[in-house]
Structure 1
Amino acid sequence: MTRARPGQHAVVLGAGMVGVACALSLRQRGLMVTVIDPLGPGAATSHGNAGVLARSSLMPFNHPRLWSQLPGLLRGKNPGFRYHPLWLLEQWRWGLAFLAHAREQDFQATTIALDTLIRHSAAVHRVWMEEAGVTHRRRDDGWLFLYRSQAGFDAGAFGRETLAHFGVATAALSPHELHDLEPHLKPVFQRALWVRDASSVDSPAAVVQAYARLLVERGGTFLLTEAAHLQRDDTGWRVGTADGASQRADQVIVALGPWSRDFLRTQTGLKLPMGFERGQHRHFQPVGDATLNRPVYDTAGGYVLAPMAQGLRLTTGVELNAQHAPPHKEQLAAAERSAREALPLGERTADPDWLGSRPTLPDCRPMIGECPGHEGLWLALGHQHIGFSTGPGTGELLAQLMLGEPTSIDPHPFRPQRFLRG
C-alpha cells in the first residue's frame, strides 16, 4: 500500500454522496482534489433516495430469514420486490453469492460493520451540514414502519429484535399513537414502529450539492465530463476524459456507484460481483394540509413516502434488473395505488419520474480501500441503497486509510480483497 501525502493530487471519479464525501475528506487533509462527473454533484443515484439517515439501515436484505421468504419473493407476491428472470439467470453467480451470505455468521458481521459505518457517518453528517449551512434541511424526529395488520407486525419481530440488540431507539405504536404522530394518515394501519434513532432531509441532492460547494470553497475542483480512460505510468495515473483532456493524479478514487462495475472491467479487467437494486420515485402535491412530518415505510405496500422540498416523494422498493433496462412502470404505479390508500395525495408534480440503480455486493457491504494489484487506485463503491447514510463515514475511512492515519472504525469488513484479487 502506497500512502497518500498532503499536496498530492487525488482524482475522484463520481460526484454522488460517496464521491463528494471522499473528496471533502481528502481535501480537509491537504490533498489537491479534482472530482470528475458528467452530471455534477448529487445528480444521479444520490438524487433519488428517500433522504433517511437511520441506524435501522444496518439490516441487510440477505438476512437469515430470507430463506423462508424466498418462495414468496420468487413468485412475485411482494410489492416491494421485483426481479427480471433473464437478468437473474445471467447473473446467477452474483445471486448465489448473495444467498450464500444470508447466514447467521455473515449477518452478524454485516450488521456490526454497517452499524459502525452508519453511526460514524451520522456524526460526520452533522458536522458537515453545519459547515455547509444546511442544518435547516435535517429533521431529527425519526421515521415510521407501518403495518396494515397485526400479522404483518408480528412478521417483523426479527428486525425489531435486531434493532434492539444494537440499541436502536424504537417505539411500537398503536393506531391512536400513530395518529398523534401523523394525523393525516388514513386509518388503514393496525400497528407501527417508530424508529426514533433516525434523521431525514428534505432534499438529498441539495445536501450533496452543499457539500460540493464546501469542497470548492476549500480549494477542490469539479469537472463536468466523463472519465473515459485510466492508465498507470511511472509518475502515477492519467485519467483521460470524454472531452479529450487528461488529468495526472497521484491517487485515483473510483466512487462511480453502479457505473463502477463496467468502468473497472474495461479499464483494469477487474470483475466486480455487483448487482443492481433498482428503484424509482415520483412526486405529488399534498392535498390541503394533508402531509407528513417524517418519512414512512408501508411494509405491505412496499414503498416509502417522504416529505421533500419538491412535495411528497414516493419511492418504490427493489427491482433486480440490468442497470440500463427500461423502467418497470407497473411497480411505480402499484406503489402509487397503495400510497393513495394511506394518505390523500394530490396531482403529480412537474418533476419527471426518476429511476436509479443501487450497486449491491454479495454481502451488502461497500468496498472501501486500495484496489488489489493497482497501486494508488482506491475503491469506494457498492453501498446498495444506503449510500446517503454511509457516505461521509466512507469518505473519512478512505482518507484515513490513504494517509495511514488511525481509523475511526474497523476497515476489515470493507476491504476490497474479500472479492477482488490482484
Structure 2
Amino acid sequence: MVEPPSNGAVRPVPVPAGARRISHSERAMPVLARLRERFAAARPLSDVRVVACLPLTAETAVLARLLASGGAEVALCSSNPLSTQDDVAAALRADGMTVAARRGVDRAGYYADVRQALDTLTGARRALLLDDGCDLLSALHTERPALLRSGVVAGACEQTATGVLRLQQMARDKALALPVVAVNDTPTKRVVDNRWGSGQSTVDALLRATGMLLAGRTAVVAGYGDVGRGVASRLRGLGASVIVTEVDPTAALDAALDGYRVLPMADAAPLASVVVTATGARDVVTAAHLGLLPDGAVLANAGHFDVEIDVRGLVSLAVERNVAVRPGVDEYVLPHGRRVLLVAEGRVAGLAAAEGSPPAVMDVAFALQALTAEWLLDAGLPRGVHPVPAGIDRTVAGLALESLGLALDVLTPAQEAYLRSWRAGS
C-alpha cells in the first residue's frame, strides 16, 4: 500500500502483513463487498454472536468482517491445524474479534481452541455457528451440552461434504439437537468451490510442495465426486495421465465416460507418480498400497480429515523419515528402499500446503454462508439437516455472474407458459 506525499514522490506506508493480505482478498471478492454494504445498512445480525470454525485465511477474514458489519460479535477458531494464517489471525484480533487459532498446533491444542471459541457463547442472547467439517458442532454436542440446552444457538451452517456426512449420521442417530443448513450441497457451491476451487488449490499445493512436472506423469485420483472431478481435470490439463479409483459404480462409469482409466487402488498404485485422495472416507490408501508405490511417489489428500491416507501405517513401515525435504513435504524411506513423499502430513493439501481456494471462489462460497446465516436466524427450522433455499443459491450465482460482467437470457412469457404446461405436445 502506498500513499503519495506532498512532494509528489511515492513513499511506502507500513501496513501489517495480515491487513495487507486481507485487503488483497477483499479486492477480489466483489459479491461479499455488495453484501457488506447491505449488512452494514440493515444490521441483520445485531445482538447475535457468530462462532465460526473455518480455515483461518484472508478470505475467511473478509467473511468475518462482513458479519461484524451486520452487527454480529464474531469469534473464530480454525478448522484445520495447518490452515491458519497467523498474520491474518493477528489482524482480526486487532479488529476486536476473538480468535483462538495458531498455525501448527497439535491435536490437543486444536480442540482446546475449538472449546475456547464455543465458550464465547456464554452470556449470548442469540447465536449462530458456521462450521467446516463438523468439529465445532460435535464438540458442542459432546463437550458443551449446557450451552446446547440453553437454547441460545439458533442453528448452524456446514460448509463441507465431510461435515454434512457427519451431521446426517448425527441426525439418523437422533443426536443432532439443532437445525443445520448444508451449505455445501447447493449447486453453486459444489460447482464453484468443490470442483473448481478445490481442484485448482490441490494441484497448486502439489506444485508448490514438490516442484514436480506433472506432464507425462501418471496421477491417481481416489474418488470422483465434485472435488475428485476438479482435481482430475486440473491434473489432466497439466498433461498428466489420470487414473480414477471409485467404490460407486455410477461415479466410476462417469469417470470412464469422461475419458479416465478406472482401476482399483491395488492396481493403480504401482503406476502412480502422484496419488490424490478426495473421498471423505478413511483408509483409502492403506499400508498394503504403500508397498506398491513406485520410488518417489507423492501422496496428497484433498479431503478434509487426515484419515484418507494411512499416515500411521506409513510411519510404522518407514525405516527412515526425512522431515521437510521441501516446505510441507516429508520423505519416508520404506524397507525396500523406495521413497514416498507425503504432502502436508496427509491433511487437506490445498489449505495446508497452499492458500486454499482463490478469493473469487470463496467470494461465492462465503456469500452463501452469509445469506444462509441471515435467513436461518429467524427461519424457525426444526432440528435436522436442511437444504439452502433455492432462492439464496440463485441470488449468489446471479451476483457472481454480474461480477464477471456476464448476463443471462430471460424466458419469454410464452416459454414460461410452455414449461408450466403438460398439455402441449409434439
TM-score between both structures, scaled by the size of structure 2: 0.28
Greater share of residues in strand: 1
Greater relative CO, 1 or 2 (CA 8 Å, sep 6+): 1
TM-score between both structures, scaled by the size of structure 1: 0.28
Greater share of residues in helix: 2
